[in-house]
Amino acid sequence: ELLQYHGDKLRYQIISTYDNQERLLENLILEFNSVPGAFSPHAPRPGKVVYTYNASKRTKEVATYEVGGALKERELFTPMTSEKMKLI
């Protein structure tokens, strides 16, 4: 768990889940005390990021969800290239 404060106000809580091989499975990012209309390109994006690994294909899929649960983006990383392939 990671807590990020701006001054004395809690702004973000990041809860991470790992598998038995210590690979990241999920990041849940919660935002607190937000300023309406304010945007920071360096701030964490609230929502959930889910990582799925396929050992036989040596791939990793990363799915990003909005706060309400809607799928925002899916990306597939393969060993054949260092680039990611957008699935959505």
State mean pLDDT over 31-46: 87
Least confidently predicted of 30-34, 47-51, 54-58: 54-58
pLDDT of 87 strictly over 80: no
70 sits in the region (left: phi over 0; alpha: psi -120 to 50; else beta) called beta
Q: What is the pLDDT of residue 19?
A: 93
State mean pLDDT over 65-76: 93
Alpha helices in the chain (DSSP H): none
* Residue 38 banded pLDDT, cuts 50, 70, 90: confident
How far is the C-alpha of 13 from the C-alpha of 3, rounded, in Å?
5
* Residue 82 banded pLDDT, cuts 50, 70, 90: low
Its pTM stands at 0.80
